[in-house]
Amino acid sequence: MDALVIERDRKEQVITLAGAELAYRVLFDQMNEGAVTLTCDGLIAYCNRTFAAIVRLPLPRVVGAPLRRFVPPAQRERFEALRTTGSRENARGDLSLVAGDGTPLVVAVSFAPLHAEGGAEPIGVVGVIRDIGERKQQEELRNRLIEQVMTAQDEERRRIARELHDETGQSLTAVLVGLRTIEASRTRREAAGLARKLRGTVAQTLEEVGRLSRGLHPGTLDDIGLAAAVTRQVEEFVQRHEVATDMRIDGLDAEPLPPLLQTTVYRILQEALTNVARHAAARSVSVRLARDAGTVELRVQDDGIGLNPALRAAGNRRRLGLQGMRERAALLGGSVEVESPRGAGTTITARFPVAER
């Protein structure tokens, strides 16, 4: 006998006999999951400390309580179905619970019948309960990222199509017209002058195609590394937007960073510089990229007008790309912080852990 169920004033109370639970505690208290033993009526005859921690109550206040106490009304029908099935055979499912302090929980539950030695009829139910709230959050983050990746791909295709039509297409049209003009030239000197102009147009077109290619995937990440790619990106930003820059790169001459981390840092730099060009009205930008024993940090700081609070509202997150930066970083265990006092510029700092080999 493990416990007694005593009824007083129409209230049931479970009293565990001293020493009877010792074998359970040795085993169950080593588990990372919550473990409960239920009577046929659903009272908790025993639970381990992990389950008490999950429901945020002291162990003595959990033993003797009905498990349905921690189940919100909307989930009780599902809970009872799982428990009833679990009294006959193994049953599994996800449930929402409410901890003793009111905190909502999402858990994975597994019930199985408990038989006395040699007995055919179940005398209770054994349950294993695991908090999967973090897993659910990761799944939601993954789904949001997939949605954003698909949206970003579509936007990137539109941007490339627009630039190919507006810039590269016009340049190639100019080359075609120039070739026809050369064909109709009356003198070699006139043809040579037109050819020189066309050479400049073709060189400009090649540069535009190269810029589009680097926007899709910076080849320098594969060929030379992150430091060279960052340097080139900042130099192109200076040429296109005529903004003064102060750039410093430290600690990247050690072993190469993982490819996904390099790509993530580069994309966050791209997005941060794009925000400077579109929204900051800045005269200068400072870029710092540093690596120490366990961290890579990217900091982009401008002296512009700062972010308008309205732009940081939920409806404008995608336009600014701040949420995308944070979610890219979160996938690698990193973080992105934004400091933007109105009228005092904006500082975007991305930090990533670097595991030692």
CATH code assigned at 64: 3.30.450.20
Enter the DSSP assignment of 74.
G
**271-307 pLDDT, tens per residue?**
898 888 888 888 889 999 999 888 999 999 998 887 7
- pLDDT of 124 over the 50 cut: yes
Radius of gyration of the chain (CA): 32
Of 74-78, 243-247, 308-312, the one with minimum mean pLDDT is: 308-312
Give the CB-side neighbour count of residue 342, counting CA atoms within 13 A. 5
Q: Which region among 91-95, 186-190, 254-258, 340-344 has the lowest average model confidence (pLDDT)?
A: 340-344
10 & 65 share domain: yes
Averaged pLDDT, 53-72: 91
255 and 270 in a single domain? The answer is yes
Query: Structural domain of residue 180, as residue ranges?
Result: 133-216
Say yes or no: 176 and 298 in one domain: no
Whether residue 252 sits in one domain with residue 311: yes
Count of CB atoms within 10 A of residue 313's CB? Answer: 10
- Judge whether residue 177 has pLDDT over 50: yes
pLDDT by residue (tens digit) across 327-356?
788 888 899 999 887 777 899 999 999 875
State the pairing for strand pair 295-302/347-353.
Answer: antiparallel
Which of 216, 245, 276 is the last residue in one of the domains? 216
Kindly indicate the confidence band of residue 4, based on its pLDDT and cuts at 50, 70 and 90.
Answer: low
Phi, psi of 322 (to 5 degrees): -65, -40
For residues 277 and 297, membership in a common domain is answered with yes
* CATH number of the domain bearing residue 346: 3.30.565.10
How many whole angstroms separate alpha carbon 274 and alpha carbon 35? 52
Position 314 scores a pLDDT of 42
The number of distinct structural domains making up the chain is: 3
- 26-54: average pLDDT: 85
Q: Please state, rounded to an integer, the average pLDDT across all residues of the chain.
A: 81
Are 11 and 61 found together in one domain? yes
313 band by pLDDT with thresholds 50, 70 and 90: very low
Residue 138 and residue 77 share a domain: no
pLDDT 10s digits, 15-35: 555 555 555 566 667 778 899
Q: What average pLDDT score do residues 111-125 get? A: 83
Q: Are residues 304 and 186 in the same domain?
A: no
Confidence of residue 237 (pLDDT cuts 50, 70, 90): confident
Query: Could you say which of 189, 216, 243 is where a domain stops?
Result: 216
162 and 212 inside one domain: yes
Euclidean distance between CA atoms 187 and 182, whole angstroms: 9
Whether 190 and 243 map to the same domain: the answer is no
pLDDT interval class at 109 (50, 70, 90)? very high
Mean pLDDT computed over 218-222: 69
Encoded tokens for 178: 């120039």
